[in-house]
């Protein structure tokens, strides 16, 4: 996610901004920049650079080059526009007199940009943030706060903003909606930050801005108003966190933080793509002619991204009636795959740098396939080499074990399946509407699952000492089990495998003995009776069963399973997005109880760029 820092006071601003940004590096970024008031010249001095923060700091000699006591800084996690100097923040208005740093996504930026272009406003970047700077200037008639208020009333989406105007060198404006933004209260100085980490060294007295708030920061203090420009008083709280804890937002591990961030990540991923009952994929390059001739879909990925593909196969085949193959990147390259110009190749990768997946992409392209990738890291190699990329906008994922990237990839692939079916005319209007409604319910229902995480912690405390755990399920639940099993293996080091539960009797059931733990996944209602029989099958051989099902089937499952995890009902297209959360939490709590290094498991890397 992007990081914002602002300072206005008596000291040199640039060193404070750079130090504050260094405290936000953990959020992940690909470029950085600062803007300060150049009091002597009566203008804004803006410096920004792609790459690590050190690149910018070296250019500014640690900030010594910029003589100013007020400014804003930014580390950018690219969403709109690849990482580059010109796309870095701060973004400035055409006159250069207004500078903006932003965290979030402006959902209607395209329409606003078109409007401003029609007014003759020139643009230099691909970012949604530049639209904010240009729109504020469009409304500016001498009162910067009023211009900001008028611009924000036309903006849809999530934003945390820091705004400078050269005509008002003794103030910084802040605005917040959906993306967190914090105000810091110092002696003769004021601060702005994405999270307390950036300013904890200077002050522990902070205000958490509320949605719709605007704030004016001066050396004398901070005033707040609401979206109607009415003055409001916001609480000042004392932060007692240590810096390291704050970097994880107060959570003990990045993995847990990212599990908890999933509702927000899904909102960022989905809300710009669903509007007025329609699915909107900007710049979608799949022509109607290609779709009409599309004979096959190949999904290529590794690890958890492969598991996303395994779920996607069920959805895509059922909805589009086109054959779908799912291949591991490392296998695809050596299997002489049947790919031609009528094949849609969906490449899935959180990092966008996995070598096995990248190599498969290049081979698929050589064979004539149309490459559509689902990626989290903007401007990554896989994104750059695809014909079309759908970004998950999950924000940076620090923990090696993927969670929010998995759920946003899965939600996006499921949305793509629904969109394809709509384009191909293979889904009824009724199912289309029901499924689309479910996408909008998903974040809220995921919050319900997270609210009951203590139940999962209890189950983990019962089962964390097992040395081998099976995950069984059918259809969507089987594909879900693959991910649940991997999560457990990679952070708790417990041997585990996922099995199609109908397949157990063909050999593997010989391993089931007294005390074996089986996680039985029965969320997919259509096959619930079959999974019940499989539960009885393993119970009769002495297994302990921890089941997962929907609230509808909880009572029935509780009659035979030893313990039951439940999720709310939701359209089957989104069942795995919801069902994976108890499995992520189970893996996390088991690993916690086994004292494992959860964020950095042994032998693993966040991005596997070797063959």
- What is the chain's length? 611
Give yes or no for a contact between 180 and 194, defined as CB atoms under 8 angstroms apart.
yes
Which residues contribute to the site for ligand AGP (CB under 6 A)? 302-305, 349-351, 354, 357, 400-402, 490, 607-608
Toward ligand AGP, which CB reaches closer, 448 or 607?
607
Q: How far is the CB of 208 from ligand AGP (least distance, A)?
A: 32
Is 606 an annotated catalytic residue? yes
Residue 20: count of CB within 10 angstroms of its CB: 27
Residue nearest ligand AGP (C-beta atom): 303
Toward ligand AGP, which CB reaches closer, 392 or 550?
392
What end-to-end distance do the CA atoms of the chain give, in Å? 29
Q: How far is the CB of 528 from ligand AGP (least distance, A)?
A: 28
Toward ligand AGP, which CB reaches closer, 149 or 303?
303
Toward ligand AGP, which CB reaches closer, 32 or 598?
598
State the maximum Cα–Cα separation within the chain, in Å, rounded to a whole number: 83
Q: Tokens 């559509």 identify what position?
A: 372
Q: How far is CA 399 from CA 92, 263, 344, 487, 605, in A?
A: 34, 17, 31, 12, 10
d(CA 29, CA 32) in angstroms, rounded, equals 8
**What tokens does 314 get?**
């069920």
**What tokens does 31 get?**
């470029």
H helix or E strand, kind and range, residue 278:
strand 278-279
Is 2 an annotated catalytic residue? yes
Q: How far is the CB of 45 from ligand AGP (least distance, A)?
A: 38
Q: How far is the CB of 411 from ligand AGP (least distance, A)?
A: 15
* Torsion angles phi and psi, residue 108, rounded to 5: -105, 30
H helix or E strand, kind and range, residue 566:
strand 563-567
Q: In 385-428, which ranges are continuous DSSP H helix?
A: 404-424
Q: How far is the CB of 547 from ligand AGP (least distance, A)?
A: 23
Q: How far is the CB of 358 from ligand AGP (least distance, A)?
A: 9
Q: Which of 530, 539, 600, 606 is catalytic?
A: 606
Toward ligand AGP, which CB reaches closer, 121 or 260?
260
**What tokens does 313 get?**
């196969």
Toward ligand AGP, which CB reaches closer, 213 or 490?
490
Q: Tokens 């080091």 identify what position?
A: 493
Q: How far is CA 479 from CA 117, 330, 501, 590, in A?
A: 47, 19, 11, 21
User: Three-state SS for 344?
Assistant: strand
Q: Which of 2, 165, 269, 577 is catalytic?
A: 2
Q: List active site positions.
A: 2, 606
């Amino acid at each position: 996610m992007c990081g914002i820092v602002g300072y206005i006071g008596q000291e040199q601003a640039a060193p404070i901004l750079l130090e504050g940004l260094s405290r936000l590096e953990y959020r992940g970024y690909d470029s950085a920049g600062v803007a300060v008031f150049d009091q002597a010249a009566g203008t804004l001095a803006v410096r920004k650079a792609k790459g690590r923060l050190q690149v910018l700091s070296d250019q500014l000699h640690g900030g010594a080059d910029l003589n100013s006591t007020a400014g804003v800084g930014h580390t950018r996690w690219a969403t709109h526009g690849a990482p580059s100097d010109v796309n870095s923040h701060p973004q400035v208005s055409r006159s250069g007199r207004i500078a903006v740093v932003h965290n979030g996504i402006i959902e209607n930026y395209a329409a606003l940009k078109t409007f401003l272009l029609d007014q003759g406003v020139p643009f230099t970047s691909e970012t949604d943030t530049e639209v904010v700077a240009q729109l504020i200037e469009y409304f500016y008639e001498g009162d910067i706060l009023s211009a900001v208020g008028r611009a924000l009333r036309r903006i849809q989406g999530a934003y945390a903003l820091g705004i400078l105007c050269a005509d008002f060198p003794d103030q910084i404006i802040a605005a917040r909606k959906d993306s967190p933004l914090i105000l810091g209260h110092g002696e003769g100085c004021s601060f702005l930050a994405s999270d307390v980490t950036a300013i904890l060294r200077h002050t522990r007295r902070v205000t958490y801005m509320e949605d719709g708030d605007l704030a004016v920061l001066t050396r004398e203090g901070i005033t707040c108003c609401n979206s109607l420009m009415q003055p409001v008083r916001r609480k000042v709280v004392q932060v007692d966190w240590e810096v390291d804890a704050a970097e994880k937002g107060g959570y003990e591990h990045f993995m847990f933080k990212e599990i908890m961030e999933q509702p927000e990540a899904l909102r960022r991923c989905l809300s710009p793509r669903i509007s007025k009952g329609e699915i909107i994929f900007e710049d979608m390059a799949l022509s109607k002619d290609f779709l009409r001739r599309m004979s096959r879909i190949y999904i290529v990925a590794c690890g958890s991204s492969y598991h996303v593909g395994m779920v996607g196969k069920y959805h895509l085949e059922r909805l589009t009636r086109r054959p779908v193959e799912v291949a591991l990147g490392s296998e695809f390259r050596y299997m002489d795959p049947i790919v031609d110009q009528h094949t849609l190749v969906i490449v899935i990768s959180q990092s966008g740098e996995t070598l096995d997946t990248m190599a498969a992409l290049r081979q698929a392209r050589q064979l004539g396939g149309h490459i559509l990738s689902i990626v989290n890291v903007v401007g990554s190699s896989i994104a750059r080499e695809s014909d079309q990329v759908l970004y998950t906008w999950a924000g940076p994922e620090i923990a090696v074990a993927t969670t929010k990237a998995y759920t946003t990839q899965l939600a996006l692939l499921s949305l793509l399946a629904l969109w394809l079916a709509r384009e191909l005319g293979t889904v009824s209007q009724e199912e289309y509407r029901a499924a689309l409604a479910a996408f909008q319910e998903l974040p809220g229902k995921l919050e319900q699952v997270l609210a009951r995480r203590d139940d999962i912690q209890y189950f983990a405390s019962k089962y964390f000492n097992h040395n081998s755990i099976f995950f069984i399920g059918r259809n969507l639940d089987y594909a879900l089990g693959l991910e649940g099993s991997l999560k457990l293996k990679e952070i708790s080091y417990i041997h585990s495998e996922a099995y199609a539960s109908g397949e157990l009797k063909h050999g593997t059931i010989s391993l089931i003995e007294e005390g074996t733990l089986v996680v039985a996944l029965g969320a997919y209602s259509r096959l619930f009776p079959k999974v019940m029989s499989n539960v009885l099958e393993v119970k009769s051989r002495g297994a302990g069963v921890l089941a997962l099902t929907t609230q509808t089937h909880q009572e029935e499952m509780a009659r035979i399973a030893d313990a039951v995890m439940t999720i709310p009902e939701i359209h089957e297209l989104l069942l795995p997005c919801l069902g994976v959360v108890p499995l992520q939490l189970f893996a996390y709590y088991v690993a916690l109880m086994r004292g494992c290094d959860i964020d950095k498991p042994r032998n693993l890397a966040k991005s596997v760029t070797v063959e």
